Structure 1
Amino acid sequence: MKDLEKLYRDYFETVYKYLFSITGSADLSEELTQETFYQAMKTYDSFRGDAKVSVWLCQIAKHLWYKEYKRSSSHTSDSLEDLSDLIPSESSVEQKVVESDAKLKMYQKLQKLDEKTREVMYLRLTGELSFREIGEILEKNETWARVTFYRGKQKIMREEEKE
Protein backbone atom coordinates (compact mmCIF):
# COMPACT_ATOMS: atom_id res chain seq x y z
CA MET A 1 0.00 0.00 0.00
CA LYS A 2 2.91 2.36 0.67
CA ASP A 3 4.03 1.88 -2.95
CA LEU A 4 0.67 3.14 -4.16
CA GLU A 5 0.77 6.12 -1.81
CA LYS A 6 4.24 6.99 -3.08
CA LEU A 7 3.05 6.57 -6.66
CA TYR A 8 0.23 9.02 -5.97
CA ARG A 9 2.49 11.57 -4.28
CA ASP A 10 5.16 11.33 -6.97
CA TYR A 11 2.93 11.50 -10.03
CA PHE A 12 -0.25 13.34 -9.04
CA GLU A 13 1.00 16.69 -10.31
CA THR A 14 2.26 15.25 -13.61
CA VAL A 15 -1.04 13.51 -14.36
CA TYR A 16 -3.06 16.53 -13.29
CA LYS A 17 -1.05 18.92 -15.48
CA TYR A 18 -1.35 16.55 -18.42
CA LEU A 19 -5.11 16.31 -18.02
CA PHE A 20 -5.48 20.04 -17.52
CA SER A 21 -3.52 20.64 -20.70
CA ILE A 22 -6.02 18.63 -22.73
CA THR A 23 -9.26 19.39 -20.87
CA GLY A 24 -8.75 23.02 -19.91
CA SER A 25 -10.94 22.40 -16.86
CA ALA A 26 -9.52 22.30 -13.35
CA ASP A 27 -12.50 20.40 -11.95
CA LEU A 28 -12.60 17.83 -14.72
CA SER A 29 -8.82 17.39 -14.55
CA GLU A 30 -8.97 16.72 -10.82
CA GLU A 31 -11.82 14.25 -11.24
CA LEU A 32 -10.03 12.42 -14.07
CA THR A 33 -6.77 12.42 -12.10
CA GLN A 34 -8.49 10.68 -9.22
CA GLU A 35 -10.04 8.17 -11.61
CA THR A 36 -6.63 7.62 -13.24
CA PHE A 37 -5.07 6.62 -9.92
CA TYR A 38 -8.05 4.45 -9.09
CA GLN A 39 -7.62 2.59 -12.40
CA ALA A 40 -3.86 2.41 -11.85
CA MET A 41 -4.40 0.89 -8.40
CA LYS A 42 -6.65 -1.77 -9.89
CA THR A 43 -4.05 -2.72 -12.51
CA TYR A 44 -0.83 -1.96 -10.62
CA ASP A 45 0.14 -5.62 -10.28
CA SER A 46 -0.06 -6.11 -14.06
CA PHE A 47 2.21 -3.12 -14.85
CA ARG A 48 5.20 -4.68 -16.61
CA GLY A 49 7.49 -1.66 -16.50
CA ASP A 50 7.94 -1.45 -20.29
CA ALA A 51 7.42 2.32 -20.08
CA LYS A 52 8.09 4.97 -17.49
CA VAL A 53 5.46 5.11 -14.76
CA SER A 54 4.52 8.67 -15.75
CA VAL A 55 3.88 7.56 -19.33
CA TRP A 56 1.77 4.62 -18.14
CA LEU A 57 -0.31 6.89 -15.91
CA CYS A 58 -0.75 9.49 -18.66
CA GLN A 59 -1.90 6.76 -21.03
CA ILE A 60 -4.58 5.75 -18.53
CA ALA A 61 -5.51 9.42 -18.13
CA LYS A 62 -5.69 9.92 -21.90
CA HIS A 63 -8.04 6.97 -22.32
CA LEU A 64 -10.26 8.25 -19.52
CA TRP A 65 -10.31 11.69 -21.15
CA TYR A 66 -11.31 10.20 -24.53
CA LYS A 67 -14.10 8.32 -22.80
CA GLU A 68 -15.28 11.50 -21.07
CA TYR A 69 -14.90 13.52 -24.27
CA LYS A 70 -17.15 11.16 -26.17
CA ARG A 71 -19.68 11.20 -23.34
CA SER A 72 -19.83 14.98 -23.03
CA SER A 73 -20.88 17.33 -25.79
CA SER A 74 -20.26 20.62 -23.96
CA HIS A 75 -16.52 20.31 -23.37
CA THR A 76 -15.41 23.18 -25.64
CA SER A 77 -17.30 26.00 -24.00
CA ASP A 78 -16.39 24.76 -20.51
CA SER A 79 -12.67 24.61 -21.28
CA LEU A 80 -12.62 28.16 -22.65
CA GLU A 81 -14.41 29.50 -19.58
CA ASP A 82 -12.10 27.72 -17.14
CA LEU A 83 -8.96 28.81 -18.97
CA SER A 84 -10.02 32.44 -18.88
CA ASP A 85 -9.15 32.44 -15.18
CA LEU A 86 -5.50 31.75 -16.01
CA ILE A 87 -4.75 35.13 -17.58
CA PRO A 88 -3.33 37.53 -15.02
CA SER A 89 -5.61 40.49 -14.45
CA GLU A 90 -4.60 43.96 -15.62
CA SER A 91 -5.84 47.24 -14.20
CA SER A 92 -7.31 48.32 -17.52
CA VAL A 93 -10.74 47.06 -18.56
CA GLU A 94 -9.77 47.57 -22.19
CA GLN A 95 -6.68 45.39 -21.71
CA LYS A 96 -8.83 42.60 -20.26
CA VAL A 97 -11.17 42.75 -23.24
CA VAL A 98 -8.26 42.66 -25.71
CA GLU A 99 -6.60 39.75 -23.90
CA SER A 100 -9.85 37.82 -23.69
CA ASP A 101 -10.56 38.34 -27.38
CA ALA A 102 -7.01 37.33 -28.37
CA LYS A 103 -7.17 34.20 -26.24
CA LEU A 104 -10.54 33.22 -27.64
CA LYS A 105 -9.23 33.64 -31.20
CA MET A 106 -6.14 31.55 -30.38
CA TYR A 107 -8.26 28.70 -29.00
CA GLN A 108 -10.53 28.89 -32.03
CA LYS A 109 -7.46 28.52 -34.25
CA LEU A 110 -6.20 25.60 -32.16
CA GLN A 111 -9.57 23.88 -32.53
CA LYS A 112 -9.18 23.98 -36.33
CA LEU A 113 -5.99 21.90 -36.17
CA ASP A 114 -6.09 18.14 -36.53
CA GLU A 115 -6.47 16.19 -33.28
CA LYS A 116 -2.83 15.11 -32.84
CA THR A 117 -1.43 18.58 -33.62
CA ARG A 118 -3.94 20.19 -31.26
CA GLU A 119 -3.02 17.74 -28.51
CA VAL A 120 0.71 18.47 -28.95
CA MET A 121 0.03 22.22 -28.89
CA TYR A 122 -2.05 21.98 -25.69
CA LEU A 123 0.51 19.76 -23.96
CA ARG A 124 3.34 22.13 -24.83
CA LEU A 125 1.55 25.42 -24.17
CA THR A 126 -0.64 24.70 -21.17
CA GLY A 127 0.92 21.52 -19.83
CA GLU A 128 4.45 22.92 -20.12
CA LEU A 129 5.76 19.48 -21.03
CA SER A 130 9.00 18.87 -22.88
CA PHE A 131 8.93 17.47 -26.40
CA ARG A 132 10.41 14.25 -25.04
CA GLU A 133 7.57 13.92 -22.52
CA ILE A 134 4.98 14.74 -25.17
CA GLY A 135 6.46 12.10 -27.45
CA GLU A 136 6.35 9.50 -24.69
CA ILE A 137 2.75 10.31 -23.77
CA LEU A 138 1.57 10.13 -27.37
CA GLU A 139 3.72 7.06 -28.07
CA LYS A 140 5.89 8.88 -30.61
CA ASN A 141 9.42 10.22 -30.46
CA GLU A 142 10.75 13.63 -29.45
CA THR A 143 11.42 14.68 -33.05
CA TRP A 144 7.83 13.90 -34.07
CA ALA A 145 6.56 16.08 -31.20
CA ARG A 146 8.88 18.96 -32.20
CA VAL A 147 7.90 18.79 -35.87
CA THR A 148 4.19 18.51 -35.08
CA PHE A 149 4.37 21.53 -32.76
CA TYR A 150 6.33 23.54 -35.33
CA ARG A 151 3.87 22.70 -38.12
CA GLY A 152 0.93 23.59 -35.89
CA LYS A 153 2.54 26.91 -35.02
CA GLN A 154 3.14 27.59 -38.72
CA LYS A 155 -0.51 26.87 -39.55
CA ILE A 156 -1.65 29.29 -36.87
CA MET A 157 0.77 31.96 -38.08
CA ARG A 158 -0.47 31.56 -41.67
CA GLU A 159 -4.03 31.88 -40.37
CA GLU A 160 -3.11 35.13 -38.59
CA GLU A 161 -1.51 36.52 -41.76
CA LYS A 162 -4.79 35.99 -43.61
CA GLU A 163 -6.70 38.11 -41.08
Structure 2
Amino acid sequence: MEDLSEVYKSYADEVKRFLICLTSNVDLAEELTQETFYQAVKSIHRYNGEYKMSVWLCQIAKHTYYNYLKKVKNADHLSVENLMQKGVDIPSSKEQPDVEMVRRNTLISIHKEIHLLKEPYREIFLLRTSIQLSFKEIGEVFDKSENWARVSYYRAKLKLAERIDGNEL
Protein backbone atom coordinates (compact mmCIF):
# COMPACT_ATOMS: atom_id res chain seq x y z
CA MET A 1 0.00 0.00 0.00
CA GLU A 2 1.29 3.43 -0.90
CA ASP A 3 2.24 5.87 1.82
CA LEU A 4 -0.93 7.73 2.86
CA SER A 5 0.56 11.18 2.37
CA GLU A 6 1.53 10.19 -1.19
CA VAL A 7 -2.02 8.97 -1.80
CA TYR A 8 -3.33 12.33 -0.63
CA LYS A 9 -0.88 14.26 -2.81
CA SER A 10 -1.74 12.12 -5.82
CA TYR A 11 -5.52 12.13 -5.56
CA ALA A 12 -6.70 15.10 -3.47
CA ASP A 13 -7.15 17.43 -6.46
CA GLU A 14 -9.06 14.80 -8.42
CA VAL A 15 -11.39 14.07 -5.49
CA LYS A 16 -11.89 17.79 -4.89
CA ARG A 17 -12.80 18.40 -8.56
CA PHE A 18 -15.30 15.56 -8.39
CA LEU A 19 -16.84 17.01 -5.23
CA ILE A 20 -16.97 20.52 -6.70
CA CYS A 21 -19.04 19.10 -9.54
CA LEU A 22 -21.34 17.32 -7.11
CA THR A 23 -21.76 20.17 -4.65
CA SER A 24 -21.35 23.32 -6.76
CA ASN A 25 -19.56 24.78 -3.76
CA VAL A 26 -15.77 25.03 -3.55
CA ASP A 27 -15.65 25.46 0.24
CA LEU A 28 -17.93 22.50 0.84
CA ALA A 29 -15.93 20.42 -1.64
CA GLU A 30 -12.72 21.19 0.26
CA GLU A 31 -14.33 20.19 3.54
CA LEU A 32 -15.73 16.98 2.04
CA THR A 33 -12.36 16.18 0.47
CA GLN A 34 -10.79 16.24 3.91
CA GLU A 35 -13.59 14.04 5.27
CA THR A 36 -13.17 11.67 2.33
CA PHE A 37 -9.51 11.11 3.11
CA TYR A 38 -10.29 10.73 6.80
CA GLN A 39 -12.81 8.01 5.92
CA ALA A 40 -10.29 6.44 3.54
CA VAL A 41 -7.66 6.24 6.28
CA LYS A 42 -10.21 4.64 8.62
CA SER A 43 -11.14 2.03 6.02
CA ILE A 44 -7.83 1.54 4.22
CA HIS A 45 -7.81 -2.07 5.38
CA ARG A 46 -10.82 -2.68 3.10
CA TYR A 47 -9.04 -1.46 -0.04
CA ASN A 48 -8.13 -4.60 -1.94
CA GLY A 49 -6.77 -3.09 -5.14
CA GLU A 50 -9.64 -4.46 -7.23
CA TYR A 51 -10.35 -0.90 -8.47
CA LYS A 52 -8.01 1.98 -9.10
CA MET A 53 -7.32 4.10 -6.03
CA SER A 54 -9.04 7.10 -7.66
CA VAL A 55 -12.24 5.09 -8.22
CA TRP A 56 -12.22 3.88 -4.62
CA LEU A 57 -11.68 7.42 -3.30
CA CYS A 58 -14.46 8.83 -5.50
CA GLN A 59 -16.82 6.19 -4.15
CA ILE A 60 -15.94 7.31 -0.63
CA ALA A 61 -16.36 10.95 -1.68
CA LYS A 62 -19.79 10.21 -3.13
CA HIS A 63 -20.92 8.51 0.07
CA THR A 64 -19.43 11.32 2.16
CA TYR A 65 -21.45 13.84 0.14
CA TYR A 66 -24.64 11.77 0.50
CA ASN A 67 -24.09 11.59 4.26
CA TYR A 68 -23.62 15.36 4.32
CA LEU A 69 -26.92 15.81 2.45
CA LYS A 70 -28.69 13.59 4.96
CA LYS A 71 -27.32 15.67 7.84
CA VAL A 72 -28.35 18.92 6.16
CA LYS A 73 -31.80 17.57 5.41
CA ASN A 74 -32.23 16.41 9.00
CA ALA A 75 -30.94 19.69 10.40
CA ASP A 76 -33.39 21.61 8.17
CA HIS A 77 -32.01 24.96 9.26
CA LEU A 78 -30.29 26.34 6.16
CA SER A 79 -30.43 30.09 6.19
CA VAL A 80 -31.00 32.27 3.17
CA GLU A 81 -27.38 33.40 3.37
CA ASN A 82 -26.15 29.81 3.11
CA LEU A 83 -28.34 29.14 0.11
CA MET A 84 -27.15 32.32 -1.59
CA GLN A 85 -23.49 31.34 -1.08
CA LYS A 86 -23.90 28.14 -3.10
CA GLY A 87 -22.57 28.37 -6.61
CA VAL A 88 -19.58 27.85 -8.81
CA ASP A 89 -16.56 30.06 -8.27
CA ILE A 90 -15.62 31.24 -11.74
CA PRO A 91 -12.89 33.85 -11.99
CA SER A 92 -13.92 36.96 -13.83
CA SER A 93 -11.97 38.68 -16.56
CA LYS A 94 -11.46 42.43 -16.16
CA GLU A 95 -10.45 42.85 -19.79
CA GLN A 96 -13.80 41.82 -21.31
CA PRO A 97 -16.46 42.05 -18.60
CA ASP A 98 -19.45 41.61 -20.95
CA VAL A 99 -18.03 38.48 -22.56
CA GLU A 100 -17.02 37.11 -19.18
CA MET A 101 -20.47 37.80 -17.73
CA VAL A 102 -22.16 35.93 -20.59
CA ARG A 103 -19.69 33.06 -20.22
CA ARG A 104 -20.26 32.92 -16.48
CA ASN A 105 -24.04 32.97 -16.82
CA THR A 106 -23.91 30.27 -19.48
CA LEU A 107 -21.66 28.05 -17.35
CA ILE A 108 -23.90 28.50 -14.33
CA SER A 109 -26.98 27.68 -16.40
CA ILE A 110 -25.34 24.55 -17.79
CA HIS A 111 -24.18 23.53 -14.32
CA LYS A 112 -27.73 23.94 -12.99
CA GLU A 113 -29.05 21.77 -15.80
CA ILE A 114 -26.48 19.08 -15.00
CA HIS A 115 -27.65 19.03 -11.40
CA LEU A 116 -31.26 18.66 -12.49
CA LEU A 117 -30.44 15.39 -14.26
CA LYS A 118 -31.75 12.35 -12.41
CA GLU A 119 -29.42 9.78 -10.94
CA PRO A 120 -27.45 7.89 -12.11
CA TYR A 121 -27.16 10.14 -15.19
CA ARG A 122 -25.90 13.16 -13.26
CA GLU A 123 -23.20 11.23 -11.48
CA ILE A 124 -22.13 9.34 -14.59
CA PHE A 125 -21.87 12.60 -16.53
CA LEU A 126 -19.80 14.20 -13.77
CA LEU A 127 -17.51 11.20 -13.36
CA ARG A 128 -16.82 11.19 -17.08
CA THR A 129 -16.41 14.94 -17.59
CA SER A 130 -14.97 16.21 -14.32
CA ILE A 131 -12.38 13.58 -13.49
CA GLN A 132 -12.27 11.78 -16.85
CA LEU A 133 -12.95 8.29 -15.55
CA SER A 134 -13.04 5.64 -18.24
CA PHE A 135 -16.30 3.84 -18.96
CA LYS A 136 -14.81 0.74 -17.36
CA GLU A 137 -14.06 2.68 -14.16
CA ILE A 138 -17.54 4.24 -14.14
CA GLY A 139 -19.01 0.76 -14.51
CA GLU A 140 -16.90 -0.34 -11.53
CA VAL A 141 -18.20 2.56 -9.41
CA PHE A 142 -21.77 1.39 -10.05
CA ASP A 143 -20.99 -2.36 -10.04
CA LYS A 144 -22.15 -2.50 -13.66
CA SER A 145 -20.56 -3.24 -17.02
CA GLU A 146 -18.47 -0.94 -19.16
CA ASN A 147 -21.19 -1.08 -21.82
CA TRP A 148 -23.82 0.02 -19.25
CA ALA A 149 -21.64 3.02 -18.42
CA ARG A 150 -21.27 3.93 -22.12
CA VAL A 151 -25.02 3.72 -22.77
CA SER A 152 -25.87 5.61 -19.58
CA TYR A 153 -23.38 8.37 -20.40
CA TYR A 154 -24.82 8.68 -23.90
CA ARG A 155 -28.33 8.93 -22.44
CA ALA A 156 -27.14 11.52 -19.92
CA LYS A 157 -25.70 13.62 -22.75
CA LEU A 158 -28.98 13.37 -24.67
CA LYS A 159 -31.03 14.36 -21.63
CA LEU A 160 -28.70 17.27 -20.91
CA ALA A 161 -28.86 18.44 -24.54
CA GLU A 162 -32.67 18.29 -24.42
CA ARG A 163 -32.72 20.32 -21.21
CA ILE A 164 -30.30 22.92 -22.57
CA ASP A 165 -32.10 23.21 -25.92
CA GLY A 166 -35.41 23.49 -24.09
CA ASN A 167 -34.12 26.37 -21.98
CA GLU A 168 -32.25 28.05 -24.84
CA LEU A 169 -29.07 28.98 -23.03
TM-score range, shorter chain: 0.7 to 0.9
- Provide closer, same or farther for how the CA distance between residues 63 and 6 of structure 1 changes in structure 2, counting only shifts above 3 A: same
CA distance in 1 between counterparts of 2:2 and 2:158 reads: 47
CA distance in 2 between counterparts of 1:153 and 1:32 reads: 27
Q: Tell me if 1:62 matches 2:38.
A: no
- Provide closer, same or farther for how the CA distance between residues 53 and 144 of structure 1 changes in structure 2, counting only shifts above 3 A: same
The alpha-carbon deviation at position 152 of structure 1 amounts to 1.8
Mind listing any 5+ residue stretches in structure 2 that lack a counterpart? none
User: Which residue does 1:24 correspond to in 2?
Assistant: 24
- Provide closer, same or farther for how the CA distance between residues 135 and 23 of structure 1 changes in structure 2, counting only shifts above 3 A: farther
Mind listing any 5+ residue stretches in structure 1 that lack a counterpart? none
Segments of 4+ moved more than 4 angstroms? 73-79
Residue type at the aligned position of 1:148:
S
Deviations 1:98-127 (A, max 9, x none): 223322321232233212111122223333
From 137, 151, 156, give the equivalent of 1:152: 156
Report the TM-score, using the length of structure 2 for normalisation.
Answer: 0.74
Tell me the C-alpha RMSD between the 2 structures: 2.9
CA distance in 2 between counterparts of 1:46 and 1:5 reads: 18
Moved more, 131-140 or 23-32: 131-140
User: Which residue does 2:106 correspond to in 1?
Assistant: 102
From 108, 113, 117, give the equivalent of 1:113: 117
From 139, 145, 152, give the equivalent of 2:143: 139
Bigger helix share:
1
Which secondary structure does the structure 1 equivalent of 2:121 belong to? helix
Q: Is the 8 A contact 1:33 1:61 kept in 2?
A: yes
Q: Tell me if 1:125 matches 2:129.
A: yes
Report the TM-score, using the length of structure 1 for normalisation.
Answer: 0.76
Deviations 1:8-36 (A, max 9, x none): 23332332232223223222222222222
CA distance in 2 between counterparts of 1:42 and 1:19 reads: 20
CA distance in 1 between counterparts of 2:165 and 2:38 reads: 46
Residue type at the aligned position of 1:31:
E
The alpha-carbon deviation at position 77 of structure 1 amounts to 5.5
How many residue pairs match? The answer is 160
